[in-house]
Amino acid sequence: MLDAALSDTVTRFPVDIQPFKDMIKGMRMDLIKSRYENFDELYLYCYYVAGTVGLISVPVMGIAPESQATTESVYNAALALGLANQLTNILRDVGEDARRGRIYLPQDELARAELSDDDIFTGRVTDM
């Protein structure tokens, strides 16, 4: 069923294949990586798993003919929305991710806050 739905979508709408490939790369990252050293690494992960969803959505949802926005600005906004949603999910799911042995919060920022992986795994709460 899902293959049929995806096949229909890519047939009916001018979607680019690259965001799909990138999304798969992001899913593979979850199989081999459970920590991110800095925000640049985390940003790349967020692009792969969620920014791609925004990029894929634009051709399906379309741009209103009366829109004053450029196509580039619409894609940039869709990308930013996907990234923001993923970052929000990361913050919301710190405990759940920790129970799965994963920490998406950048390691350098945890160190600046004087927090360790163990602090995250044990649910330590600070004022910072």
Q: pLDDT digit string (tens) for 4-47?
A: 887 888 788 888 889 999 999 999 999 999 999 999 999 999 99
Rg of the chain on CA atoms, in Å:
18
Compute CA 92 distance to the chain's CA centroid, rounded to the nearest angstrom: 13
Predicted TM-score (pTM) of this structure: 0.86
Angle between helices 52-61 and 71-92 (to 10 degrees): 130
Nearest to 79 by CA among 126, 112, 43, 109: 43
Q: Where do the domains of the chain lie? A: 18-122
Fold of 18-122: Farnesyl Diphosphate Synthase (1.10.600)
CB proximity list for 109: less than 8 A, separation 6 or greater: 38, 39
Per-residue model confidence as pLDDT tens digits over 59-110: 999 989 999 999 999 999 999 999 999 999 999 999 999 999 999 999 999 9
Q: How far apart are the first and last CA of the chain?
A: 47
